[in-house]
Amino acid sequence: MPDTSKRIYIFDTTLRDGEQSPGVSLNVEEKLKIAHQLARLGVDVIEAGFPIASPGDFEAVRAIAREVEGPVIAGLARINDRDIDRAWEALQEARRPRIHVFIATSDIHLKYKLRMTREEVLAAVRKGVARAKSYCQDVEFSPEDASRSDIDFLCQVLAAAIESGATVLNIPDTVGYATPAEFGHLIAEIRRRVPGIEKVQISVHCHNDLGLAVANSLAAIENGALQVEGAINGIGERAGNTALEELVMALYTRRDYYGCHTAIVTEEIYRTSKLVSSLTGMPVQYNKAIVGKNAFAHEAGIHQDGVLKERTTYEIMNPTMIGVVQSNIVLGKHSGRHALRSRLEELGFKLNEAELDKAFARFKELADRKKEISDRDLEAIVEHEVKQIPEKFALEHIHISTGNRVVPTATIGLRVGEELKEEAACGEGPVDAAFKAIDKITRIPVCLKSYTLNAVTGGKDAVGEVTVKVEYAGRVFIGRGISTDVLEASARAYVNAINKVVYEIGEENLQVLEA
């Protein structure tokens, strides 16, 4: 048995750096849902947001701090009084709060962005860390762009942060520039040169611009880092952050080499990845390590033969370890409510009676059109259509006439309270026609920003999963819909996005177009 006594702490920044991914915008409830799932996953720290950034960010950090038990809850702040005070305001009800302060240390950032001298940065670090410490015992300090900073100055800044009370020093490779050997060496040098370093925890935060974030984080661990920051599915600024599921499974699968362990409940990885992808609207690439659709798929005959004879010939991890559940029971149109409930429970979904009713109704509709309902179909039903916000508008019927020689026309029926409203419209294509007909009923002037269509499973009767992003009053809302008919899935997704606008903006604040 390898010695795995060294513990690595996992700091999740899906809700902060991850949410900075272009096009991603989560509301407070969605952030809470993800935070609860991260707690089930067993992360040590949840960076819940950047409280000064917006009232929405502030509210989300405050709600997570109040509600989520288990992990440390961190909030980000630039190293100035206003940011730090606001971060503390949001965090103070957390059972285990942490203020995370940062300022850049590279000459390029000092000269062009901060317009500060090194002495000014040093003074700001002393003052800011001390202020954060006056509120909160647990203070993390990050010298932004550390990997491109002058090492002597970097060490001076880190020493000042320790003297002022920092408990965690986080070394970011902000622009994903470092190579593994170089980054490992940087951590080793910091450990060798910074006075007092043995009193604090060393953390790393790597970006993936060159695809090296996980490799750099592992190199840092080999050189003494004890905390790794990252995001689920590797989302984050530009090319993203260290993909936590990859890092955790690398440490576990190669525990013989790294000699470390984490507190992650690996069986929750797959579910967390699906939840984050679904709420952020960021698909997971098929060949993504650990959580991609193809991560455990064997295509070549030789490989299939090998796996059938002995799984370990071509699989270094068992998919059940990350929570991919395999079942021999096939659900179809003759399956009852009880069978659906127990399958959903096996998949980890605990629905109340009303949610189960809704799931069962959608399951029956789908089973009428599709012979076998797969686990992925069930997950899509629950994630996209059951655990939803209140529906101001509900899709009743859709009729589309289209072809290469006709003008696409859509007739849509939406239930609005007790009333059934119907409208027809022509469009550039069938989806456009459907959305225009929906707009005529809702009269909410949303602007479609993106549209994605994916097949949930393979085959001619695959369920189509549509994600749309719409903009209203400068905010982005994500809607999702599924159906074996991709036009119906599109209409469901669009109506879902509009329902979110109504729910979040509030009916009384909506500007509705004249009829």
Residues that bind Zn ion (CB under 5 A): 17
Q: Is there a binding annotation on residue 261?
A: no
**Whole-angstrom Cα distance, residue 15 to residue 235?**
10
**Does residue 271 belong to the site contacting ligand KIV (CB under 6 A)?**
no
**Whole-angstrom Cα distance, residue 374 to residue 64?**
34
**Does residue 143 belong to the site contacting ligand KIV (CB under 6 A)?**
no
**Whole-angstrom Cα distance, residue 186 to residue 141?**
17
**Does residue 144 belong to the site contacting ligand KIV (CB under 6 A)?**
yes
Q: Could you tell me the smallest distance in angstroms from the CB atom of residue 170 to ligand KIV?
A: 6
CB under 8 Å to 455, separation ≥6 — which residues?
462, 463, 464, 465
Which one-letter amino acid corresponds to residue 106? S
**Whole-angstrom Cα distance, residue 189 to residue 78?**
26
Q: Could you tell me the smallest distance in angstroms from the CB atom of residue 312 to ligand KIV?
A: 38
Q: Could you tell me the smallest distance in angstroms from the CB atom of residue 177 to ligand KIV?
A: 11
Segment interacting with ligand KIV, rule: CB under 6 A, options 127-135, 147-155, 166-174, 376-384: 166-174
Q: Could you tell me the smallest distance in angstroms from the CB atom of residue 203 to Zn ion?
A: 12
Which one-letter amino acid corresponds to residue 132? A
Burial 61-78 (b: 16+ CB within 10 A, else e): bbbbbeebebbbbbbbbb
Q: Is there a binding annotation on residue 384?
A: no
Task: Establish how many alpha carbons lie within 13 A of residue 450's alpha carbon, considering only the half-sphere containing its beta carbon.
Answer: 14
Q: Is there a binding annotation on residue 205?
A: yes
**Does residue 216 belong to the site contacting ligand KIV (CB under 6 A)?**
no
> Which of Zn ion, ligand KIV, none sits in contact with 142, Cβ below 5 to 8 A by type?
ligand KIV
Q: Could you tell me the smallest distance in angstroms from the CB atom of residue 195 to ligand KIV?
A: 23
Using CB positions, name the residue nearest to Zn ion. Answer: 17
What would the 3-class secondary structure string for 412-432 be? EEEEECCEEEEEEEECCCHHH
User: What binding mask, one character per residue, do residues 69-108 give for ligand KIV by CB under 6 A, x or -?
Assistant: ---------------------------------x------
Identified binder of ligand KIV from the candidate list 12, 17, 245, 375, rule CB under 6 A: 17
Segment interacting with ligand KIV, rule: CB under 6 A, options 159-167, 170-178, 320-328, 497-505: 170-178
Number of shown-chain residues binding ligand KIV (CB under 6 A): 9
Identified binder of ligand KIV from the candidate list 142, 149, 217, 233, rule CB under 6 A: 142
Identified binder of ligand KIV from the candidate list 18, 172, 408, 427, rule CB under 6 A: 172
Segment interacting with ligand KIV, rule: CB under 6 A, options 167-175, 186-194, 267-275, 444-452: 167-175
**Whole-angstrom Cα distance, residue 107 to residue 58?**
31
Of residues 208, 254, 252, the one with CA closest to residue 234? 208
> In this complex, which beta carbon is closest to ligand KIV, that of residue 31 or of residue 205?
205
Residue ranges in 136-268 assigned as alpha helix (H): 151-163, 180-193, 213-222, 244-253, 255-258
Residues within window 408-467 making contact with ligand KIV, judged by CB under 6 A: none
**Does residue 227 belong to the site contacting ligand KIV (CB under 6 A)?**
no
Strand partners, 10: 228
> In this complex, which beta carbon is closest to Zn ion, that of residue 175 or of residue 398?
175
User: Is 382 in a helix, a strand, or coil?
Assistant: helix
**Whole-angstrom Cα distance, residue 402 to residue 384?**
27
106 φ, ψ (degrees, to nearest 5): -80, 150
**Whole-angstrom Cα distance, residue 378 to residue 376?**
5
Q: Could you tell me the smallest distance in angstroms from the CB atom of residue 20 to Zn ion?
A: 8
Q: Using only C-alpha atoms, what is the Rg of the chain? A: 25
Q: Which residues are annotated as a binding site?
A: 17, 205, 207, 241
Annotated binding site for Mn(2+): 17, 205, 207, 241
What is the binding site for ligand KIV (CB under 6 A)?
17, 102, 142, 144, 170, 172, 174, 205, 207
